[in-house]
Structure 1
C-alpha cells in the first residue's frame, strides 16, 4: 500500500510478549477443535516508524 518497503520491516516476524504468545497458543488450540486456524497480519510496527522507541514494552 505504500509502494515501497517501510523502514524497520526487515524480517517476516511478529513481536510480542510471552503472555501474548501463550494467549495465541490457547486461541489456536481452541480454533483447531472447530476446524479453524489463525492467520496474523501486521503483528509489529517498528519503533522507527511509530516514533515510540522510549515507550517500547509499555502496553505491548
Structure 2
C-alpha cells in the first residue's frame, strides 16, 4: 500500500524541462519488511524517473 508523501514536493508533476524533474523520485514504505517496531524501510520508485533507473549523475 502506498504511504502518504513524506514532504510537499510534487510527484509526477509537470515540468518546463527534464532537468527540473530530477530529484523528485517518490518513496513507498515497506511496512511488512520492517524487522522490528520503530524501523521503517522505504523503496524508491525508480520507474517514475524521467529516464527510468538511469542515474542522473556520474559516480
Q: Assess same fold via TM > 0.5.
A: no
Greater RCO, 1 or 2 (C-alpha within 8 Å, sep 6+): 1
Scaled by the length of structure 1, what TM-score is found? Answer: 0.29
Greater fraction of residues in helix: 1
Scaled by the length of structure 2, what TM-score is found? Answer: 0.30
Greater fraction of residues in strand: 2
